[in-house]
Amino acid sequence: MSEQQQPSIEEIKQQCIFCQIIHGDVPSQKVFEDEKFLAVLDINPASPGHMLVLTKEHYAIMPQMPEADIQYLGKLSKALSQVLLKTMQCEGSSIFIANGPAAGQRAQHFMLHIIPRNEGDDVGLKLTENQMPPGTIEKLKQALAPGLKKNLGVELKVEAPKPKTEVDLDSVTEFFAKTKNSRKEETDDESSDGNKEEEQEKEAKEIEDESEDDLKKESEEVEETVKEKPKKKKPSVKKVKKKKEEKTEENVEVSLDDITSLL
Ligand SMILES: [Zn+2]
């Protein structure tokens, strides 16, 4: 680090509100402190109990932190989230780090958020789900492979995308345009062809009859399952549906027990 850069970093530290909190120059609601980290309650929480775990050293983003500190941070965030689960009576927690302004980082000081969560709360941490064009995942894996090998020493098995599934943006646009056109043609055909309509009605009736039979069968099964339900401990469980239900209940119980026993 050159002498010219040094003062500017010191300046950043002096201006950093979180460094001021750590030095006690700005008041905060501390809930944990040791020589490396400080945890405070966020004064504008996403939900009550929202904690900020701060490094005492000024790091702007996680990659600047020493490995040992990151390892310790993992243990610390686990312990603090368990405290929240027990004391705030919450159902879960969101634990995240915003690395860089693009990720929503507002202060130039590293911090990890621990936010108590409940089903249906209004904490706005919703992730979008995007459809990927065919072959894109394989291409992504190909792009990641050298970095994974260099940083983690792992060889990622990557299948070369099949020529058919190798889709560029132009062909995707073309595909959607074609689909749109063919749908339009179908609609035109239907409106002009009376016989076709009759045939379709006949087919629909057949399908209806079949599904009525299926429904009847299904409702019989459901009735049986309902009848069996009170005898929960009886081992003669025939219905797959019922087995599935019980399994889910078991899993939930186990995970809740686990959480409680860890506290
Ligand atoms: Zn700072």
Delimit the domains of the chain by residue range: 5-117, 130-167, 176-220
Tokens for 110?
A: 């590293």
Please report, to the nearest 10 degrees, the dihedral formed by the alpha carbons of residues 132, 134, 139, 145 taken in order. Answer: 80
Tokens for 117?
A: 């969560």
CB proximity list for 76: less than 8 A, separation 6 or greater: 32, 37, 39, 53
Q: Give 6 Cα–ligand 1 centroid separation in angstroms.
A: 15
For the segment 51-63, the average pLDDT, to the nearest whole number, is: 96
Contact present, 145 and 161 (Cβ < 8 Å): no
Confidence band for 158, pLDDT divided at 50, 70 and 90: confident
Q: Give 115 Cα–ligand 1 centroid separation in angstroms.
A: 21
Q: Which of 22-26, 53-57, 166-170 has the lowest mean pLDDT?
A: 166-170
Tokens for 54?
A: 């701060």
Q: Give 110 Cα–ligand 1 centroid separation in angstroms.
A: 8
Confidence band for 260, pLDDT divided at 50, 70 and 90: very low
Q: Give 102 Cα–ligand 1 centroid separation in angstroms.
A: 19
pLDDT tens for residues 102-116? Answer: 998 998 999 999 999
Q: Give 59 Cα–ligand 1 centroid separation in angstroms.
A: 7
Q: Give 40 Cα–ligand 1 centroid separation in angstroms.
A: 14
Top CATH class, 5-117 = alpha beta
CB proximity list for 154: less than 8 A, separation 6 or greater: 148
Q: Give 72 Cα–ligand 1 centroid separation in angstroms.
A: 19
Which residue type is seen at 218?
E
pLDDT tens for residues 113-154? Answer: 999 999 999 998 888 999 999 999 999 999 999 999 999 999
